[in-house]
A and B are shown apart, each in its own frame.
Chain A
């Protein structure tokens, strides 16, 4: 994969924040179903 350093930086933020916010969203959906 040949990306520029700026693209690698964006990729890292998308992956890192995507994990956190994705899990938060999944929990929110589960909370809605349980309540």
Chain B
């Protein structure tokens, strides 16, 4: 089981990087330049997959939070923590690529349009999630507080999606694409989704290892405390360190 996982992980990342190389090649050699916006429109092929994967990562946080509230299993908490980190990373990518596009197309790095404002709010919500995680020491308390927070933070995702459709916004709600552009967009979804999913999975496994180490350390220190107390009382502790 362990050896098959050892083979799977490098294969997965190799395929993701090959898909990324194919997507870049397609962008440079095949995709036509859009007539009105020019080369800057090509940011779209990265910007949209990043945005959609931000939503999926936030959905993972939400599902894992519900899982923790329902079952109180630590792996749900570890999954939520992993997905929240990746949500923040992807949201940073969306904001950064969007700002660069905006500076070239609108002449400003930032404007308080509904879509941009709610996207920034999403970034802040998950940044605060990670701050909350690191500020609570008790693992059980941290898990339940973050589960409730993670569930609530997801409410911003439909607001981001609907904002430019329902409210007047400088951000376009959709872009008309010709077939080669649609193909490029679909191809770009493959590496970005694979990398995002791979990052969540890797972070999750690292969180599991860190939790196990932390538990072992806590058990060891409690054994030492028991042994020291028993030693002070002049008793022998069966299986203890004394």
Residues of A within 8 A of B (CB): 1, 3, 5-6, 8-9, 11-13, 15-17, 19-21, 23-24, 27-28, 30-31, 34-35
Known: A15-B96, A23-B89. A9 touches B199 (CB 8 A): no
Measured CB to CB, the closest approach of chain B to A9, in angstroms, equals: 5
Given A15-B96, A19-B93, A20-B89, decide whether A9 and B40 contact each other with a Cβ distance below 8 A.
yes
Chain A residue numbers with a CB within 8 Å of B40 are 5, 8-9
Q: For the complex, is B242 an interface residue (Cβ under 8 Å from A)?
A: no
CB distance from B51 to the nearest CB of A (A): 11
Per a CB cutoff under 8 Å, which of B93, B203, B206, B210 touches A15? B93
Q: Among B43, B203, B210, which residue has its beta carbon within 8 angstroms of that of A9?
A: B43
Mark B residues whose CB is within 8 Å of A.
13, 20, 38-40, 42-43, 46-47, 50, 86, 89, 92-93, 96-97, 100-101, 103-104, 192, 195-196, 198-199, 202-203, 205-206, 209-210, 213
Nearest CB to that of A13 among chain B residues?
Answer: B46
A-B contact count (CB 8 A): 72
Closest 3 CB pairs of A and B: A8-B104, A12-B100, A5-B40
Bound-complex Cα distance A23 to B195 (A): 10
A30 adjacent to B206 (CB under 8 Å): yes
Report whether over half of chain A's contact residues are helix, strand or loop; otherwise say mixed: helix
Q: How distant is A1 from chain B, measured CB to nearest CB, in Å?
A: 8
Q: Within 8 Å CB of A9, what residues of B?
A: 39-40, 42-43
- A16, A17, A19: most-surrounded residue (chain B CB, <10 A): A16
User: A16 with B50: in contact, given A27-B202, A34-B209 (CB under 8 Å)?
Assistant: yes
Contacts A8-B104, A19-B89, A20-B192 known; A13 to B43 CB distance under 8 Å? Answer: yes
Inter-subunit contact A6/B39 (CB<8 Å): yes
Chain A residue numbers with a CB within 8 Å of B103 are: 1, 8
| A16 and B202 contacting across the interface, CB-CB below 8 Å | no
